[in-house]
Amino acid sequence: MARTTVHRVQVEFGDCDPAQIAFYPNFFRWFDASALNFFRKCGVPPWRETEKTTGLIGTPIVEVGCTFLRPTTYGDLLEVRTWIEEWREKSFVMKHALMRGGEKLAEAREVRVFATRHPDDPARIKAVPVPAEIRERCE
């Protein structure tokens, strides 16, 4: 089984639409926060530090999908379980399961890359091979 981390979320009133159901973009916000939490719990330094030492600025998403299974509403306490399902040369597949108790509310799949600033234009980014030391920390 892949290393899995848990990020806890409380659904707030402002996360919900007029029907009192959490508005779907918030799921992606919670998944993104859980992705950062995953790397922190694996001992990866903050991206602003890795940029100074290795040039890595983060792990932008290049593909994302989500299956919404059940609704959630304000006051609910949720867990986002996050793990890396697959490592590739310059990308990886990260999975998230949004849970309320033992009930799965949503599952998401992200393809992310490790990125540095492009050497010819620092306003652009460039995918780089998965750093071995980060992969080792996250397995």
**Helices and strands: H and E segment counts in the chain:** 3, 7
17 tagged catalytic:
yes
Helix (H) / strand (E) containing 31: helix 25-41
Of the candidates 17, 32, 76, 120, the residue annotated as catalytic is 17
Q: Kindly list the catalytic residues.
A: 17
